[in-house]
Chains A and B, each alone.
Chain A
Amino acid sequence: MDKVMSLDQAVESVRDGATIMLGGFLGVGAPLRSIDKLVESGVKDLTVISLANGHPGQDFDVALLYKNKQVRKLITSHAGTTQIALDQYASGELEIEYFPLGSFVEKIRAGGAGLGGVLTPTGLGTLAEEGKEKLVVQGAEYLLELPLRADFAFIKGYRGDRYGNIQYRGVALSSNPVMATAGEWTVAEVNEIVDVGSIEPESVGTPSVFVHAVVQGHPFETHKKIYADLWVRSKQLK
């Protein structure tokens, strides 16, 4: 029942062509060490499912995978913050599939929750409805958005125990809880690995059953410094 393992063990079965979910929002709440490990491994032709792209204008989190030419397709709601991805998209190296953010989340939720899809009015009358089935329910029109799962989901939590219970912190939940449910193999990177029982049941954000591997991310003090440095570099902190 001990799911704690090394990063090497957690990512060793990621092969070329894999579909991977990466949690976080523009790098905040992102599984930074897992991404570094994927870059190091050199696996390529990845399909990346990430709600947005890298932190604006920075070589950070998901941006590193484009730099290393490892991504064949991006499924997202917003790609504009990472220029190298846009360049690869324009030249045909990278394919991008956009979904409205709310629909993106619900697709993943459906994937993790055993649903056949979700009905949403979002995107009607726009390019987002292309190729999608429309249904009328109780007089209102909806788009059918199909479920989305991944071979691997990499999420980022604050604390985790060896059972795989994950606690989140601050505004860093974002896509992590929903992605945790939709990976065939879900890796939770945390700032701190704690004893079973240390996380109050009420504070468990992702219950253990969704998690297959718990890995040590950057310790909290390092984590704090990484973001302070990032925000100073991007001139958002003075």
Chain B
Amino acid sequence: MDAREMIARRAARELSDGQVVNLGIGMPTAVANYLPADVELTLQSENGCLLFGSTPSLGDEDPDVANAGGQPISLKPGASVFDLATSFAIIRGGHVDVTILGALEVDQEGSIANWARPLAPGKYAPGMGGAMDLLYGARKVVVTLEHSGKGGSKILKRCRLPITGKGVVDIIVTEKAVFRVNGDGLVLTEVLEGLTVDDIREATEADFVVAENVGPYQLPSPASVDE
């Protein structure tokens, strides 16, 4: 299992039955594949629908039914469609229980950077899309990212890239560890089997405290997963 799949599987455990959930593009989208069978969610897509399902096969697609990545999806019974003003009333207005987003960087103050890579002096891409609204409006924010990249730890004392939201993150899931963010900073709650707390310290630029009940990384066994 590669790092991204592990992260998606672990992030799926942050969701519970009946929640309204918005999944970001990329790794977060994959989270929907790893939900326990007894968890039914109302998935929201920011381009304007609630209760969407899987990718149709060729021939079953509808030219007017796609997700926020422009990819074909299907609508489940009970689905609804609406324009963007309504979609962002859902998002900004506090009607989304959980959002799971990818990130370039996250920091010990609970800030996240995921919209702006420098392109030229003062110029950034790709843009924030709906991420800033989601970070503000969702009741719980789960950030999924690989623990380190080419530049080292992605869990920083302070984000270096322009941030998408300040002090908004609740949970950070990497392939090595899980952190909870509280008012004082990061709390390490889970460590991957085979690694020690010191290994996590080594791999992490941010300061963190270790939860009293720190435990093993909670990866559902593939057998318990409905795929």
Contacts and interface: CB of A to CB of B under 8 A. Distances in A.
Contacts of A189: none
Nearest to B168: A125
A139 B87 CA distance: 26
Nearest to A30: B70
A101 B123 contact: no
B119 to A, nearest CB: 5
A106 interface: yes
B125 A80 contact: yes
B72 interface: yes
Contacts of A122: 92, 132-133, 136-137
B72 A231 contact: yes
Interface in A95-154: 96, 98, 100-103, 105-106, 109, 120-128
Contacts of B71: 231, 236
A86 B61 contact: no
Interface stretch (A8-16, A38-46, A192-200, A222-230): A222-230
Nearest to B91: A102
A109 B132 contact: no
Given A90-B119, A101-B133, A126-B163, A171 B64 contact: yes
A237 B58 contact: yes
B117 to A, nearest CB: 9
A106 B85 contact: yes
Most buried by B among A86, A98, A177, A238: A98
Most buried by B among A102, A158, A228: A102
Given A56-B69, A174-B48, A106 B88 contact: yes
A77 B165 CA distance: 15
A81 B126 contact: yes
Interface stretch (B33-41, B76-84, B186-194, B197-205): B76-84
A232 B125 CA distance: 27
Contact of B84 (A79, A101, A124, A237): A101
A122 B89 CA distance: 12
B70 A55 contact: yes
Given A25-B47, A101-B46, A121-B136, A78 B66 contact: no
Given A122-B136, A126-B162, A237-B58, A101 B129 contact: yes
Contacts of A27: 70
Nearest to B52: A171
Contact of A90 (B63, B72, B123): B123
Interface in A25-61: 25-29, 51-52, 55-56
Most buried by A among B63, B75, B137, B163: B63
Counting chain A residues whose Cβ lies within 8 A of the other chain, the interface size class is 35 or more
B127 interface: yes
A227 B45 contact: no
B70 A98 contact: no
B162 A238 contact: no
Most buried by A among B45, B49, B84: B84
Given A26-B70, A122-B136, A171-B66, A78 B126 contact: yes
A84 B151 CA distance: 27
Contact of A223 (B63, B91, B124): B63
B166 interface: yes
Contacts of A55: 70
21 contacts: A25-B47, A25-B68, A28-B66, A78-B127, A81-B126, A89-B125, A96-B125, A100-B128, A100-B133, A101-B129, A101-B130, A101-B133, A102-B84, A102-B88, A122-B133, A125-B165, A128-B128, A170-B63, A171-B47, A177-B83, A228-B61
Given A25-B68, A90-B120, 12 more contacts: A27-B70, A77-B128, A78-B128, A96-B123, A106-B85, A125-B167, A171-B64, A205-B83, A228-B58, A236-B55, A237-B57, A237-B58
Interface of A: 25-29, 51-52, 55-56, 76-81, 86, 89-90, 96, 98, 100-103, 105-106, 109, 120-128, 158, 169-178, 205, 223-224, 226-228, 231-232, 236-238
Interface of B: 45-49, 55-58, 61-73, 75, 81-85, 88, 91-92, 116, 119-120, 123-133, 136-137, 162-167
